[in-house]
């Protein structure tokens, strides 16, 4: 499911694979393999993609169809 979601989000944003690969600091070939399902992104990469697209990792994984991200937890020590 993630391969479909990240491809659709990228295309809806009129971006190229090279744009996302540069943002994620991976090769274009690696990013292409994420979109074809040949390679699963790491948890860190998933977090970066969810921040980039302003959505949740659950949305990227297909666990929800709600694109709105969850409210992020704040560190109470820094408040």
Residue 46 has which token pair?
């998933």
Question: For residues 65 and 79, is the Cβ–Cβ distance under 8 A?
Answer: no
Q: How far apart, in whole angstroms, are the C-alpha atoms of residue 25 and residue 31?
A: 10
In the structure, what pLDDT confidence band is assigned to residue 75 with cuts at 50, 70 and 90? low
- Kindly report the pTM of this predicted structure: 0.80
Q: What is the pLDDT of residues 11-52, one digit of tens each?
A: 999 999 999 999 999 999 999 999 999 999 999 999 999 999
Domain limits, the chain: 2-65
Of 70 and 66, the structure prediction assigns the larger pLDDT to 66
Which of 30-43 are b and which e, b meaning 16 or more Cβ less than 10 Å from the residue's Cβ?
A: bbbbbbeeebebee
Task: Tell me the fold of 2-65.
Answer: 434 Repressor (Amino-terminal Domain) (1.10.260)
Model confidence at 5: pLDDT above 90: yes
Q: How far apart, in whole angstroms, are the C-alpha atoms of residue 74 and residue 62?
A: 25
Residues above pLDDT 70, as percent of the chain: 87
């Amino acid at each position: 499911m993630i391969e479909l979601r990240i491809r659709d989000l990228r295309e809806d944003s009129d971006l190229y694979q090279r744009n996302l690969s540069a943002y994620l600091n991976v090769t274009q070939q690696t990013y292409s393999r994420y979109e074809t399902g040949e390679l699963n992104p790491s948890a860190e990469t998933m977090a970066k993609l969810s921040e980039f697209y302003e959505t949740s990792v659950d949305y990227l994984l297909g666990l929800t169809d709600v694109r709105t991200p969850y409210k992020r937890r704040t560190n109470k020590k820094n408040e």
